[in-house]
């Protein structure tokens, strides 16, 4: 079974930093684009950042600067560094990946989410 597992969320004071991780595991043949989304209370899920298998990065509107996405292809892991955290960054952060498994072919997976809470 292929899955994405996020970690690194928690409670942090405004101005602090966090690094979220998302590891893919299982019978994986290839991982293509990997993404981070977030969903704040009462709001729609929004795209935070995307990174291709080659390392090209794109960020959601108004999010570039404090957010840095990176990946370690050898570890099948994507990271999201968030600096200068603000209370409005409070949300559940989800990992998403396009990948090909060894058994079922192409799939788009979601992780279970990790909660980031920023106190003022």
Q: What is the DSSP letter of 75?
A: G
Strands 67-72 and 57-59 come out as unpaired
Q: What distances in angstroms separate CA 98 from CA 26, 46, 50, 88, one per listed residue?
A: 14, 17, 11, 28
Report the C-alpha gap between 45 and 75 in whole angstroms: 27
User: Using one digit for the tens of pLDDT, what is the confidence trace for 12-39?
Assistant: 999 999 999 999 999 999 999 999 999 9
The pLDDT assigned to 109 comes to 97
Is 96 strand, coil or helix?
strand
Half-sphere exposure (Cβ direction) of 78: Cα atoms closer than 13 Å: 32
The pLDDT assigned to 63 comes to 78
Query: Residue 4 pLDDT more than 80?
Result: yes
The pLDDT assigned to 37 comes to 98
Query: Residue 64 pLDDT more than 80?
Result: no
Mean pLDDT of the chain, nearest integer: 96
- In percent, how much of the chain has pLDDT > 70? 99
Q: What is the DSSP letter of 66?
A: T
Mean pLDDT of 91-105: 96
The pLDDT assigned to 114 comes to 97
In sign, the C-alpha dihedral spanning 60, 72, 74, 24 is negative
- In percent, how much of the chain has pLDDT > 90? 94
């Amino acid at each position: 079974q292929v899955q994405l597992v996020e970690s690194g969320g928690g409670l942090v004071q405004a101005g602090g930093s966090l690094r979220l991780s998302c590891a893919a595991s299982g019978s994986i043949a290839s991982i293509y684009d990997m993404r981070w989304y977030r969903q704040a209370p009462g709001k729609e899920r929004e795209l935070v950042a995307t990174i291709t298998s080659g390392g090209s990065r794109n960020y959601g509107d108004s999010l570039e600067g404090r957010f840095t996405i990176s990946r370690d292809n050898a570890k099948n892991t994507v990271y999201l560094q968030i600096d200068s955290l603000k209370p409005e960054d409070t949300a559940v952060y989800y990992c998403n990946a396009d990948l090909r498994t060894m058994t079922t072919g192409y799939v788009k997976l979601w992780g279970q989410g990790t909660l980031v809470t920023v106190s003022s």
